[in-house]
Amino acid sequence: MGEWVNSFTNSPTHRFTDKKRSAMSTESFLDGIYQGSFDGEVFRTFRTPKPGDKVRILLDSFRQLMEEYPPSQLEEEGRIPDKMLKEMGRIGLFGISIPELYGGLGFDLWEYLKTVEELTSVDLAVSLVSMAHLSIGVKGIVLFGTEEQKEKYLKPAATGEMIFSYALTEPHIGSDAQHIETKAELSPDGTHYILNGHKTYITNANYAGGLTVFAQMDPKRPGFMGAFIVETNREGVKIGKDMPKMGLKVSSTAAIQFKDVRVPVENLLGKPGDGFKIAMTILNYGRLGLGASSVGMMEQSIEDMKARSSSRIQFGVPIKDFPLVQEKMVTARVNSTIASAMNAFAGGLLEDDVLANVALETSHCKLFGTTRAWDTLYDALQVAGGAGYLATQPYEKRMRDFRVATVFEGTTEIHSIYPALFLMRKISKQMELLNAGRFSQLGFLLRNLFSRTRWPLKYKNKVMQKAAKLARANARTIRRMLFVGLLVYGKKAQEKEFFLRRITTLSLYLFGLLALLARLTSDHKAGRLRQEDLHVLHYFLEEAKEARDKNRRLFFSKKEALHDRIFRSLFR
């Protein structure tokens, strides 16, 4: 939530040695489904989060603070004043998810995500300073830091005395993070690393007192990276001026240059070579933060549409009586509910294991949440009519501020193909490990193509059973498309982005259905299953059916085939 892009390339083969960190390489819930195994225990142990009073108390303090510093006034100034930053620290906004042992509020992940939802609905630009600091900036220290590193840095981070940034993206390197150009070389006396390179689009840059910086550690081994804690007052650290942006005016975004910066060896997170995995693990939390922000934006937009459509009279009746206006609110409610369930499901996996491999799940949370929230923001402005276009109303600022969410933590385009790409690369690696000839690999593909996926979900409720059956059908189709795709396209399958997007779309709907089913199952056990939620599931099920019909093809559609011809004509 502070990097404009991130990587999803294959991680290097280096392994963490302790048992806790080995969890990073384990199979994820969705990955298990596509490998033929449904983890029923994970599904059954889902619980609907219920944040307590401490979340409400913090939010009340934030709302009071925003009354003292109106968003329009802050945007004109283009920066959060130092006095306000100190006040943000005082009420706990920089320590929300930092353990109480180090001076933080100690919120669990669910409480943090709920807080992010609510903060975002008040003002995203101000909230982002806290979110970027916690979700990705200081997260590496929380997850991977030594006790000495935590004592030294988490305590000032929790109070806002030292705000943190996450520095991965570079001028020439975005999604292909394994090939970043910033380098760290061990000094001859072995006491420091010498850091040289450039980072760009770094959120919180000019607020930051500390950075989590990623750099190559061996020129002969791309991806053998380190994650370093770097204080911004060190000699050789140069932070550029804030970049002008269409939104998020009070959020600091700048480039950072490192020239012969001496970083003590004790400021390395993990071991040499752990950096890439640390970076990718942190980004799981950043993507979940964006998912929560998306829910916050959708929920606020729903309230705005309800109020505006009730008071705006056209042709003698309130516009809420018109089906096309109702459709916007219904769609927003469905999308918000599904996004919330997806976030809770992925968050639950990380609550059980803070280093869980949830790249597929959080990718879906980010893609679904940010794209659906953007559509909802547009619809809210549309329902407001001409007034929605006025800068005195909240709609245009929300759209300007939120627009970058489709770029943060991996663009929409990356997330639209990443899950399929990840699964296909995993299968390819399994084939390589066979160390066998082409016929043996062909046999491997055919055996897996016709193998069955264990599917224990059964419901008495007809809608829930239909949803479970469609999710199973999607799982079978995805598995078939993956293996047939490798048979037909071979190594070039990873270049067939329309094909990859179709697989990802099916997976996205599968995860949305399962996440809501898990929530409804949990609610049913607790005796609080609502008919409204069953209606939401049914609505999303119908949408998922349409998406399935459109995306289960192996070869190009006519429209996709014409794409190439038209594209070529653009460059004649």
DSSP class of residue 172 equals S
Torsion sign, CA atoms 292, 298, 299, 300:
positive
Q: What is the spatial distance between Cα 64 and Cα 87, in angstroms, rounded to a whole number? A: 11
Six-digit token pair at 572? 């004649």
- Reported as half-sphere exposure (CB side, CA atoms, 13 A), residue 104 has a value of 27
Answer yes or no: are the C-beta atoms of 251 and 128 closer than 8 Å. yes
Domains annotated for the chain, with CATH where assigned, are 418-555 (1.20.140)
Answer yes or no: are the C-beta atoms of 521 and 351 closer than 8 Å. no
What pLDDT does residue 16 have? 31
Which of the residues 41, 181, 409, 495 is marked catalytic? 409
Q: What is the pLDDT along the chain (572 residues), one digit of tens a residue?
A: 555 433 333 333 222 333 333 334 457 899 999 888 888 888 888 887 777 788 999 999 999 999 999 999 999 999 999 999 999 999 999 999 999 999 999 999 999 999 999 999 999 999 999 999 999 999 999 999 999 999 999 999 999 999 999 999 999 876 677 889 999 999 999 999 999 999 999 999 999 999 999 999 998 898 899 999 999 999 999 999 999 999 999 999 999 999 999 999 999 999 999 999 999 999 999 999 999 999 999 999 999 999 999 999 999 999 999 999 999 999 999 999 999 999 999 999 998 898 888 999 999 999 999 999 999 999 999 999 999 999 999 999 999 999 999 998 889 999 999 999 999 888 887 777 666 666 666 677 777 767 777 788 999 999 999 999 999 999 999 998 998 888 888 888 888 999 999 999 999 999 999 999 999 999 988 888 899 999 999 999 999 999 999 999 888 888 888 988 898 889 87
77 classed as catalytic: no
Q: Find tokens 């100690």 and name the residue.
A: 106
